[in-house]
């Protein structure tokens, strides 16, 4: 797993020399391997009470993730999933400045998920330039991240099976912002 507050806002997770203090967001990326197959999930924790902007970002990100999960199904193009997520983040949730950024001045990450299977990161990429169509039986990691201007990052990632009817979420860890 990858845990911690990271070296800087542009590297917001992993080991660092920084002492974690109250209000710090802690991203835990939990890749799992079982019988030759991978799963990928991330959760966000906070020591004590989160800053208001981080609570707002996380609530918006979770709502966006829930809506993206509902959208995933066989026949939808990867680029359309990305475009709809970006549109929702900007227009409906008013989270455009924070959506898919890993630091205070970073460029937007050009994908919101990836395939998972024999490798942890494999095609298809849920990205703005990928016209590949999702198919029944594909396993996708939906991986959303938001970064505030104060440098705090929140992340939510789940592994999802594309079924004939839609999806089955395979990761079962609670998806709330975890206060410790």
- Residue 106 falls within a domain, yes or no? yes
- Residue 19 falls within a domain, yes or no? no
pLDDT value of residue 6? 56
pLDDT value of residue 133? 98
pLDDT value of residue 85? 95
- Residue 6 falls within a domain, yes or no? no
pLDDT value of residue 97? 83
- Residue 99 falls within a domain, yes or no? yes
- Residue 14 falls within a domain, yes or no? no
CATH number of the domain bearing residue 67: 3.90.230.10
Residue 116's Cα: distance from chain center in Å? Answer: 14
Measured over the CA atoms of residue 175, residue 13, residue 141 and residue 83, the dihedral's sign is positive
CA gyration radius for the chain?
16
* Whole-angstrom distance, CA of residue 78 vs CA of residue 66: 17
pLDDT value of residue 10? 45
- Residue 7 falls within a domain, yes or no? no
- Residue 4 falls within a domain, yes or no? no
Q: How many domains does the chain have?
A: 1
* Whole-angstrom distance, CA of residue 55 vs CA of residue 16: 23
pLDDT value of residue 1? 47
Parent domain of 175:
25-179
- Residue 10 falls within a domain, yes or no? no
pLDDT means per 10 residues, the chain with 180 residues, are 51 67 87 89 93 92 96 97 95 87 72 90 92 97 86 90 96 93
């Amino acid at each position: 797993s990858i845990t911690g507050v990271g070296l800087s806002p542009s590297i917001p997770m992993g080991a660092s020399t920084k002492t974690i203090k109250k209000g710090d967001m802690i991203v835990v990326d939990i890749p799992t391997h079982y019988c030759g197959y991978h799963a990928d999930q991330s959760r966000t924790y906070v020591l004590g009470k989160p800053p208001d902007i981080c609570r707002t970002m996380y609530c918006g990100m979770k709502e966006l993730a829930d809506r993206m999960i509902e959208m995933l199904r066989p026949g939808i193009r990867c680029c359309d999933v990305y475009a709809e997520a970006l549109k929702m983040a900007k227009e409906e949730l008013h989270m455009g400045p924070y959506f898919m950024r890993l630091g205070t001045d970073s460029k937007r990450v050009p994908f919101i998920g990836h395939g998972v299977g024999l490798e942890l990161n494999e095609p298809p990429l849920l990205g703005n330039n990928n016209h590949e169509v999702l198919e029944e039986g594909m396993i996708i990691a939906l991986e959303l991240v938001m970064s505030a201007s104060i440098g705090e990052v929140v992340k939510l990632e789940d592994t999802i099976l594309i079924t004939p009817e839609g999806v089955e979420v395979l990761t079962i860890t609670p998806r709330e912002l975890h206060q410790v």
